[in-house]
Amino acid sequence: MWLRRLLGCAYKAEHFCTTTLRNRWKSYPSSVDTRHVFLCRKRRYSTIMAEEAKKLAAYAAVDNHIQARQLILQHGLSLSDLDRHPELDVAIDGADEVDSALTLIKGGGGCLTQEKIVAGCAKHFIVIADYRKDSKSLGQQWKKGVPVEVIPMAYVPVSRAIARRFGGEAVLRMAVSKAGPVVTDNSNFILDWKFEHAQNWKEVNTAIKMIPGVVETGLFVGMAEKVYFGMEDGSVKVRDPPLN
């Protein structure tokens, strides 16, 4: 019932915060993403999250980026953290792209490391996205590449190492509203690796993370348990991991 309520809340709201919700007395946490919900895009739904949040008064919320933290407080939810709640039952988040094996690209908004930490603390990781994020293989829809968070002093050697081993180009992400590169909540830089062809993403993820200076990648491999796609006609498409 609690998960159904959270999913219903996400589908109704135009924007909903990336959080991890944990029952104060029971272990029922969940994470919800700030992504646009296509089938509920009208402005009149912008207040629904606040109304639905009142039904979740028994839950505390663990943010995975600063904007989510602000939304949690704005909507009157009780804020917690992974120090107090290191084990989470369910995480619900969005994705920039999802392939047929439920491998995700995340980090278009720059919060990949904290999002992966939160997802990794959950027993179940559920993804909600619109139909435009649904791909047979990564790179089919999302053309901005795989985000890689790096220590600032290492961005040039990391960029060269990725391109040399896997091809393509790893470009420093530049800020739009200020001069200079994007700086993450962890005070790091982001490289966007624009790959040339499909890869063995598990091996790629492991190899990139072994490069000195890499903090985390935006590849979520083998983490998502189920994906809900909001379709253009208002229906919902559900995808489970392939049977091996």
Residue 115: active-site member: yes
Residue 59 reports pLDDT greater than 60: yes
Q: Which of 138-147, 213-222, 235-244 has the lowest mean pLDDT?
A: 235-244
Q: What would the pLDDT profile of 73-125 be if each residue is shown by its tens digit?
A: 887 777 888 998 898 877 888 999 999 999 999 999 999 999 999 999 988 89
- Check residue 70 and give its pLDDT: 84
Beta strands in the chain (DSSP E): 19-23, 31-32, 59-63, 78-80, 88-93, 97-98, 104-105, 122-130, 146-150, 169-172, 189-194, 214-217, 219-220, 226-230, 236-239
CATH of the domain at 126: 3.40.50.1360
The structure's pTM equals: 0.79
Using pLDDT thresholds of 50, 70 and 90, give the confidence band for residue 54. Answer: low
Residue 141 reports pLDDT greater than 80: yes
Exactly one of 52, 97, 115, 149 is catalytic; which is it? 115
Integer Cα distance of 5 and 90 in angstroms: 13
Q: Provide the token pair at 97.
A: 């792209």
Domain identity same for 107 and 201: no
Residue 244 lies in a domain: no
- Check residue 191 and give its pLDDT: 98
Range of the domain at 157: 146-216
Domain identity same for 103 and 190: no
Q: What would the pLDDT profile of 172-221 be if each residue is shown by its tens digit?
A: 999 988 899 999 999 999 999 999 888 899 999 999 999 999 999 999 99
Integer Cα distance of 221 and 201 in angstroms: 7
Per cent of the chain over pLDDT 70 is: 76
CATH of the domain at 193: 3.30.70.260
Three-state DSSP state, 101: coil
Domain identity same for 84 and 104: yes
Residue 222 reports pLDDT greater than 90: yes
Domain identity same for 208 and 233: no
Domain identity same for 177 and 229: no
Q: Compute the residue count for the chain.
A: 244
What's the domain count of the chain? Answer: 2
**Sign of the alpha-carbon dihedral angle for 32, 205, 38, 177:** positive
Domain identity same for 129 and 190: no
Nearest to 211 by CA among 167, 159, 170, 169: 159
Domain identity same for 54 and 96: yes
Residue 24 reports pLDDT greater than 80: no
